[in-house]
Chain A
Amino acid sequence: MKIHEYQAKEILARYEIPVTNEILCYSVGEVQDAAQKLGFPAVVKAQVLTGGRGKAGGVKLVRNGEEATAAAEKILGMDIKGFIVEKVLVAQGVSFVSEIYAGLTIDRNTKSAVFMVSREGGVEIEEVAKDNPEAILKFAIDPDLGMAPFFARKIAFALFDDMNLVHQATDLFQKLYKVFIDTDASLVEINPLVITSENQLLALDGKMTFDDNALFRQPEILALNEPSEDEKKEIDAKEKGLSYIRLDGSIGCMVNGAGLAMATMDMIKLYGGEPANFLDIGGSSNPQKVIDAMNLILSDKNVKVIMINIFGGITRCDDVAKGLIAALEQIKIQIPIVIRLSGTNSKEGLAILKSANLPTVETMSEAAQKAISLSVDFLR
């Protein structure tokens, strides 16, 4: 789960990490007032749950009231990668001498939290990672030790010679680790963390994402969730036991299991088609689940054909077939369906579908090819 910059900085501030003075605004008038209150120069920043807002023109430095108004008018309502800007953050301008990157995430390989720092802050860290990987220093954290003072100091010394800054950073890094652990974050990032002209460390930006698996024990974090329209659909699906992600193609997919669902999408692409969605219905033959899944797929008007790919494991194919028939009797579907059923009792399952006049194919590749040709025919 993602949150906005202003929310991330509120959390950082709660842990006494120094952040810029700033005010959240929803209208041009609010931006004008906020800028007057904070003084000039100030920065107006779009608050959207996606990256790349700077490149999109969603961040503007303003030196007077007129510029503040112009920036607010331009940024509020702006479309950044499909996200409409509904609120902006007005932050006090800060003069600084250098920019640092500091971040925490999970490292799959060491199976631990890892602290990352770089002297090349202020730019996208992914670009630094690609162009100049040595510039990023990584410190795996032993979960039994946590961010011990000596460890935070070790990281601070990797960045600074000035003891004043080392002390500040040691303290800040320990707090940042505490934020990460306390909130079950999957990423906490300050970029840039600047050294101001007064030689103080200050977080100019903040980014946090959280482990979806841990949200059950993070009610305060969960309350910050602002799902997009597509995400609302995904959440809705999840409540029905379905895992759904909308894509741009025309072939609706219904599959049991995440891995097989991914492989099904791959198969469609391999033969030149475009999947309309990722949809894992899990392992059950419950007709209601199939109905819910069908309705979800059909809510996407781009879908021209539905491809059902079920591997019967514990759930036997004959049960799956009965569930499919029960579901299809209840909802009218105007577009073609291709069903591929394989695994335990597949012969019996296919016979049941055949007797109900439902078209079946034997392999995944056949199913994909048939679905693609049907989607093309449909367009004609």
Chain B
Amino acid sequence: MSILVNKNTKLLVQGITGRDGSFHTKKMIEYGTNVVGGVSPGKSGQSVHGVPVFNTVADAVKATGANTSVIFVPAPYAADAVLEAAEAGIGLVIAISEGVPTLDMVRITPYLQKRGTKLVGANCPGLISPDEAMVGILPGNIFLKGNIGLMSRSGTLTYEMVYQLTTNGLGQSTCVGIGGDPVAGLYYEELLQMFEEDPETDAIVLIGEIGGDAEERAAQYIKEHITKPVVGFIGGLTAPPGKRMGHAGAIISSGTGTGAEKIAAFEAVGVQVARQPSEIPELLKKLLKI
């Protein structure tokens, strides 16, 4: 077991003929992900790394039985691509595209809810259940199968954390990059619940960053619903107010969304917060009594 993606994942790649889509399709196949098809309007009949290409998601689903889709199309068209996947009955969509307008995300949210489609991202590195499936742009080789569930708003910071875990012998059940945008799909609360219910996950790592109050809400959720140990980390403690730190969502406005508030919220509910990435393995080992 793991969450969201596994050996049963049948993946479509939307935007498969583009540079990034093609490159990462190869990487995903090499990792062992079951990539069953790609979508690129007007390119039906072609194939990319042996994967058949279709004009529409509906055609692709009909021909391949795909249940998951990853989106590499440019940001201006990304929201439409998500809607197309949802309409075609895809249950899980992972949007890698960076720079999607916030109001596009606002507009598609009700339809996704109506269709029961789960969205990860946009502006995220994707997710991985080690040895089962990797969906997105994650460097598969640094992950190790195990019992730690991880969720993060940042890509490279996730890799840094995972590398620390793996080199300390702490494997992962699933690692999810939820993306750095202000309005995104699955967030801490949904993922915390999934990890709580996953029998293979024994502890959870939550990597947050400045901006918004999602970490504060996650802390409240952990207090009320989560029995498994959780370790936290917050990036951007030293960011100046009002500046966008690379991620559109990582902005401190008017004194809210600061790192200090987030750490305080976690510690108030008993979540230990690492002050630097290298402390995470030790905290986990202590909590798991390894």
Contacts and interface: CB of A to CB of B under 8 A. Distances in A.
B66 to A, nearest CB: 24
Contacts of B209: 259, 262
B138 A313 contact: yes
Given A214-B101, A259-B158, A364-B160, A112 B109 contact: yes
Contacts of A364: 160, 276-278
A263 B277 contact: yes
Contact of A143 (B107, B180, B217, B249): B107
Contacts of B156: 255-261, 283, 311, 313
Contact of A342 (B163, B217, B246, B250): B163
Interface stretch (B43-51, B54-62, B194-202, B234-242): B234-242
A332 interface: no
Contact of B182 (A106, A243, A311): A106
Interface string B87-125: 000000000000111111111011000000000000000
Task: Point out which of A258, A265, A280 has the most chain B C-beta atoms below 10 A from its C-beta.
Answer: A258
Most buried by A among B27, B248, B276: B276
A109 interface: yes
A262 B101 contact: no
The range of chain A's interface size is: 35 or more
Interface stretch (A9-17, A63-71, A164-172, A267-275): A267-275
B246 A258 contact: yes
B157 A313 contact: no
B235 A262 contact: yes
Contact of B255 (A126, A211, A262): A126
B245 interface: yes
A375 interface: no
A177 to B, nearest CB: 12
B67 interface: no
Nearest to A211: B102
Contacts of B240: 245, 247
B237 A181 contact: no
Contacts of A261: 156, 245-246
A278 interface: yes
Contacts of A217: 76, 101
Given A126-B254, A265-B238, A314-B27, A259 B101 contact: no
Interface string A205-235: 0000001111011000000000000000000
Interface in B247-263: 247-250, 254-255, 259
B237 A112 contact: no
A257 B139 contact: no
Contacts of A259: 152-158, 180, 207, 209, 235, 246-247
A35 to B, nearest CB: 33
A142 interface: yes
Contacts of B155: 257-259, 313
Given A108-B214, A363-B278, A258 B182 contact: no
A41 B110 CA distance: 50
Nearest to B254: A126
Given A129-B254, A257-B154, A342-B160, A265 B239 contact: yes
B277 A258 contact: no
A315 B212 CA distance: 31
B137 interface: yes
Given A213-B102, A266-B238, A111 B157 contact: no
A198 interface: no
B158 A365 contact: no
B105 A262 contact: no
B1 interface: no
A214 B248 CA distance: 11
A181 B103 CA distance: 8
A106 B250 contact: no
Given A112-B106, A186-B102, A258 B275 contact: no
Interface string B185-211: 000000000000000000000010110
Nearest to A283: B156
28 contacts: A111-B106, A143-B110, A211-B103, A213-B100, A213-B101, A214-B102, A214-B103, A217-B76, A217-B101, A256-B156, A257-B156, A258-B155, A258-B156, A258-B180, A258-B250, A259-B155, A259-B156, A260-B156, A262-B209, A263-B276, A263-B277, A266-B236, A268-B238, A311-B160, A313-B159, A344-B139, A363-B278, A365-B278
Interface of B: 27, 75-76, 99-107, 109-110, 137-139, 141-142, 152-160, 163, 180-183, 207, 209-210, 212-214, 217, 235-240, 243-250, 254-255, 259, 275-278
Given A143-B110, A245-B240, A259-B209, 6 more contacts: A112-B106, A113-B106, A211-B102, A213-B101, A259-B180, A262-B246
Interface of A: 106, 108-109, 111-113, 126, 129-130, 142-144, 181, 184, 186, 211-214, 216-217, 243, 245, 247, 255-263, 265-270, 275, 278, 280, 283, 311-314, 342-344, 363-365
